[in-house]
Amino acid sequence: MRLPFGVHVPSLFKTPTGAALLSFLMPGLGQASAGSRVRGAIIAIPALAFLGLVALVLVYDRGLLSGAPQDQRWVTSLLALDATLFVYRMWAVLDACLLAARRRRPDTFQIVGPPNKWLVGVGVGVLLVGIVGVHAAVAEVDLTWQHALDCKTGAAPCWFDISYPQCGRPFPGDAEFGIVGVNHGIDFSANACLGAGDAPSELTWAGIKGQLYANTGDPGSALSSRWPTSQTTPRQCNTSPVPGPDTADCAYDYGWNAAADAYKTAAGAYVSLGLASPGATDTPSPKVWWLDVEINNSWQTDVTLNVADLEGAVAYLQSTNPAGIGFYSTQYQWHQITGGTLVFSAYPSWVAGAGSAPQAVADCSPMGFTGGRVAMVQYHAGDFDADYLCPR
C-alpha cells in the first residue's frame, strides 16, 4: 500500500498495533495506513495546525516562549491545550487500532485471534501510557509555572515544606515561607539537615519565621524502647498506684515525651546555627508547630490510646507558648488512627494529598479532618511539596 506522495507503508504498519503506533507519532497516519486516507487527512488537520503554529512562533517570535511562563493567560491556555491534545491523541490512537482491525477482519470487531490479541493489547497499552506520561509532564511543568507566577504576582504566598528527604538536595528557590520537618520520618529522631552540619541547613532556608512540624506515633509498650514505664509526670504510667503498661496515661506520656524531644531537637538546631544563645532550651521565637499524623508510623489498634498520645503531644507544645498548633494528615489517615475524633476541633488541619494547585484550592474547606478549619493544603509543584494557604 502507498500513502500520498508515493510513500510505501510496510505491512507491519497495516496491523492494529502498527496503525496505533503511526497515529501515536502523528495523528491520522495510522488511519491512512489502514486504508482510510480521507479519514486520516481529516484527523491530521488539528495536529498539522498545531505544528504550523509552533513553527511560526519559532520563526517570527521566539521571545514569546521565553516570556510565556510570566503570562497568566498563556499558562492557563497551555494547560487547557494540553488537556485537549491528550484527549485528541488518545482517540486517534484507539481509532487507528480499531480501524486497522476492522480492515483485516471486516466481519467482526475482534482485533485479532489469540495469542496475537494479547500482543496488540500490550502494544497499544504502552502507547497510551506514553501519551499519558507526555501530557502529564507538560501539565506538571505548567502547574509549576502557575505556582511560580502566583508567588511572583502575590496572588498566592509561596509556601513550601521540606524535611529529611531533601537533605543534601536543592531546596525550593522561590519560597516566601517555609515549613521544616524536625524529625527523620519518625518520632525520637532528628533531621540531619535541620541545623548546622555537612549539608545546607533547612532552618536557614526557612528563615527565622519558618514553621516546624514533628512526626507522631503510638507504638505501644511491646514495640517501643522509649515507652514511659514508671514515669510519674505529667501522668503515671505503669506505677504501683496506676498499673498497666498500655493505658491512656502511658500513651499520653509517650506523646508528651515525643513532642518534648522534637522541641529540644529544634532548639538545639537553632543554637548550632547561632540563631539562639549557647545552651538555650527554647526556640528563638514562638513557632507554629504541626503534628504529622500518618499511618506510615506505628499506632495502636485502640484509637482512644492514639488520641491520648496526641493529647499529650499537644499539651507539651502548649507548655512552650507556641505561635500555633495544627495537624497534618488526610481524612482517611486521621480516621484510621484516631477514629475521626473531634477532640482537636479547636486546631486547624493541614491537608495532604492534592495533586495540583487547582485541586488544593478545591480542598480548602471550613471543616477539615480535625473538625477545625482547613488552614493549608499540600500539593505537588515540580520536585517539591508546595502549600496553598486557604482563605480565612
pLDDT by residue (tens digit) across 310-321? 999 999 999 999
Q: Which CATH number applies to 159-389: 3.20.20.80, 3.40.50.800, 1.10.2020.10, 3.30.70.120?
A: 3.20.20.80
Q: Are 175 and 183 in contact (CB under 8 A)?
A: no
Q: State the Cα angle at 213 between 210 and 217, rounded to 5°.
A: 175
pLDDT greater at residue 387 or residue 141: 387
- Say what the pLDDT of residue 5 is: 40
**What confidence category does residue 117 fall into, taking pLDDT thresholds of 50, 70 and 90?**
low
pTM here is 0.65
pLDDT greater at residue 289 or residue 5: 289
**What confidence category does residue 112 fall into, taking pLDDT thresholds of 50, 70 and 90?**
very low
Per-residue pLDDT at 56 exceeds 70:
yes
**What confidence category does residue 110 fall into, taking pLDDT thresholds of 50, 70 and 90?**
very low
**What confidence category does residue 105 fall into, taking pLDDT thresholds of 50, 70 and 90?**
low
Per-residue pLDDT at 88 exceeds 90:
no
- Say what the pLDDT of residue 106 is: 47
- Average pLDDT in the 73-87 region? 77
pLDDT greater at residue 140 or residue 296: 296
Per-residue pLDDT at 167 exceeds 90:
yes
**What confidence category does residue 144 fall into, taking pLDDT thresholds of 50, 70 and 90?**
low
pLDDT by residue (tens digit) across 274-298? 999 999 999 999 999 999 999 999 9
**24-33, 49-58, 303-312: least confident range:** 49-58
- What does the buried/exposed string (b/e) look like for 134-158 if buried means 16 or more CB atoms within 10 Å of the residue's CB? ebeebbbbbbbbbbbbbbeeeebeb
Q: Are 290 and 259 in contact (CB under 8 A)?
A: no
- Average pLDDT in the 254-267 region? 98
Q: Are 349 and 388 in contact (CB under 8 A)?
A: no
Pick the closest to residue 20 from 38, 33, 36, 5 (CA basis).
33
Report the distance separating Cα 39 and Cα 357, nearest Å.
39
Report the distance separating Cα 314 and Cα 309, nearest Å.
9
**3-state SS class at 177:** strand
Average pLDDT, the chain: 85
Domain with CATH 3.20.20.80 in the chain: 159-389
**What confidence category does residue 111 fall into, taking pLDDT thresholds of 50, 70 and 90?**
very low
* For the chain, percent of residues with pLDDT exceeding 70: 83
Per-residue pLDDT at 177 exceeds 80:
yes
**263-277, 299-313, 352-366: least confident range:** 352-366
Q: Are 325 and 347 in contact (CB under 8 A)?
A: yes
pLDDT greater at residue 130 or residue 113: 130
Report the distance separating Cα 327 and Cα 304, nearest Å.
17
